Structure 1
Amino acid sequence: MPDTIYDALRESHEVQRSLCRKLLRSKPGEGRQELFTALRIELAAHEAAEERYLYVPMLMNDAGLDSSRHALHEHHELDELVEDLRERPPGDRGWMNTMRKLSKKVHHHLKEEESKFFQVSGKLIGAGDKLKLAKQYRRDYQRMVDKLRAQ
Structure 2
Amino acid sequence: MNRTASEAKTTKPIPPMQARRAAVAKAKAIAVDVPANIGSTPATRFRGDADIFGRLVEDHDHHRALLAMISVTHGHSPERERLFIELVKEIKGHAAAEEQALWSSVMRNPATTDDARHAVGEHKEMDKMMADLAARDMASPGWLRRFAALRDEYLHHIREEEQEQFVAAQKHLSDSDIRYMRQVFNRRKKEEKAGATIEKKLQK
Q: What TM-score do the two structures reach when normalised by structure 1? A: 0.94
Of the three residues 111, 123, 141, the one matched with 2:159 is 111
- Return 5+ residue gaps in structure 2 as ranges: 1-11, 14-49, 198-204
For residue 51 of structure 2, what is the aligned residue in structure 1?
A: 4
For residue 122 of structure 1, what is the aligned residue in structure 2?
A: 170
Kindly state the Cα deviation for residue 30 of structure 1 after the two structures are TM-superposed: 4.9
Of the three residues 180, 183, 187, the one matched with 1:132 is 180
Q: Select the structure with the greater relative contact order (CA < 8 A; seq sep ≥ 6).
A: 1
Of 53-62 and 1-10, deviating more is 1-10
Alpha-carbon separation, structure 2, partners of 1:148 and 1:59: 24
SS at match of 2:139: coil
Alpha-carbon separation, structure 1, partners of 2:123 and 2:193: 17
Alpha-carbon separation, structure 2, partners of 1:98 and 1:47: 21
SS at match of 1:62: coil
For residue 119 of structure 2, what is the aligned residue in structure 1?
A: 71
Of the three residues 29, 32, 53, the one matched with 2:101 is 53
- Return 5+ residue gaps in structure 1 as ranges: none
Task: From the two aligned structures, give the one with the greater helix fraction.
Answer: 1
The letter for the 2-side match of 1:143 is E
For residue 128 of structure 2, what is the aligned residue in structure 1?
A: 80
For residue 24 of structure 1, what is the aligned residue in structure 2?
A: 71
Alpha-carbon separation, structure 1, partners of 2:195 and 2:125: 22
Q: What TM-score do the two structures reach when normalised by structure 2? A: 0.70
Q: CA RMSD in A?
A: 1.3
Percent identity among equivalent residues?
29
Number of residue pairs matched by the alignment: 149
Provide runs of 4+ in structure 1 moved above 6 Å.
none
